[in-house]
């Protein structure tokens, strides 16, 4: 088998492999309206996707970050979880071509992992729904680790799987993914069908910005990565 420059591929989940942005946005809007009676725009909600839930709510509602409002922030988080996991009827399918991509990458000998701002419960629900658990050697979630853009999740993945940063590639759709990779001294690939556009992602020096996650295998093969 050909020796690969980046044998470890670490994927973000929401907006990268799964088309879940609308579902996340509507759940953040619902929770903010229910607890704070504040209307959150789609742009505001999208901008915090990728962060851990607590960090996302804090960034979304800086006016409520004082210590006395900690209980309210917890209530928003609880309302979000209930709505996203159980009540929200907006679908969150895999992006077209993801199953084929994962099969191709696995067959080519890449080791695959996930680093996500999702909770463990949310990630496991989505992984089970799409029947993709067998593709990933390990996963890391917000709540169990420091939120993106802190590199802790990537450090733990590399340590567990015995790869160096020079052997790993982070693939994500948000600036939080790109910043995390930069903080881990890891190269990254931007995907533009999620949260942030190519201009935003390009600020963090990705190898490339792809408009479709399904293009990743061809890109890696063409560039012998």
| Residue pLDDT, tens place only, 19-28 | 999 999 999 9
Judged against a pLDDT cut of 60, whether residue 138 lies above it is answered with yes
Alpha helix ranges (H) inside 13-97: 21-36, 42-48, 53-60, 70-82
Instruction: Specify the pLDDT at position 158.
Output: 98
Starting at the edge strand found earlier in the chain, the sheet holding 8-11 runs 138-141, 111-116, 8-11, 168-172, 187-191, 209-210
Q: In a 3-state reduction of DSSP, which class is residue 12? A: coil
Compute the average pLDDT of residues 124-148.
95
And the tokens for 98? 């993801």
Q: Of the candidates 209, 219, 141, 136, which has an alpha carbon nearest to the alpha carbon of residue 173?
A: 209
Radius of gyration of the chain (CA): 17
Cα(29)–Cα(39) distance, integer angstroms: 7
Cα(50)–Cα(105) distance, integer angstroms: 24
Judged against a pLDDT cut of 90, whether residue 72 lies above it is answered with no
Among 1-10, 93-102, 197-206, name the one with the lowest average pLDDT: 1-10
- Domain positions in the chain are 8-20+93-222, 21-87
Compute the average pLDDT of residues 33-53.
93
| Phi/psi-derived region of residue 162, left when phi > 0, alpha when psi is between -120 and 50, beta in every other case | left
Cα(80)–Cα(23) distance, integer angstroms: 11
> CATH for 8-20+93-222, among 3.40.50.1970, 3.30.70.1350, 3.20.20.450, 3.40.50.1000?
3.40.50.1000
Cα(72)–Cα(89) distance, integer angstroms: 25
Compute the average pLDDT of residues 34-52.
93
Find out whether 171 and 10 touch, Cβ atoms under 8 Å: yes
Find out whether 16 and 194 touch, Cβ atoms under 8 Å: yes
Cα(82)–Cα(215) distance, integer angstroms: 34
Find out whether 72 and 64 touch, Cβ atoms under 8 Å: yes
Residues in the chain: 225
Instruction: Specify the pLDDT at position 82.
Output: 95
């Amino acid at each position: 088998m050909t020796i690969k420059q980046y044998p470890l591929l670490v994927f973000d989940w929401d907006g990268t492999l799964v088309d879940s942005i609308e579902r996340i946005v509507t759940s953040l809007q619902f929770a903010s309206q229910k607890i704070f009676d504040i209307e959150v725009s789609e742009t505001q909600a999208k901008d915090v996707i990728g962060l851990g839930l607590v960090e996302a709510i804090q960034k979304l509602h800086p006016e409520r970050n004082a210590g006395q409002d900690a209980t309210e922030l917890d209530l928003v988080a609880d309302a979000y979880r209930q709505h996203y996991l159980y009540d929200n009827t907006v679908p969150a399918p895999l992006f077209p071509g993801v199953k084929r991509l994962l099969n191709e990458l696995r067959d080519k000998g890449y080791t695959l992992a996930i680093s996500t701002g999702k909770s463990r419960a949310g990630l496991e629900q989505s992984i089970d729904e799409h029947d993709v658990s067998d593709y990933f050697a390990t996963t890391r979630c917000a709540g169990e680790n420091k939120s993106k853009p802190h590199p802790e999740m990537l450090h733990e993945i590399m340590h567990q799987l015995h790869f160096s940063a020079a052997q790993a590639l982070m693939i994500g759709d948000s600036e939080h993914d790109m910043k995390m990779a930069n903080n881990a001294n890891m190269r990254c690939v931007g995907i533009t069908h999620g949260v942030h556009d190519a201009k935003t992602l390009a600020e963090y020096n990705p190898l490339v910005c792809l408009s479709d996650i399904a293009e990743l295998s061809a890109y890696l093969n063409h560039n012998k990565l």
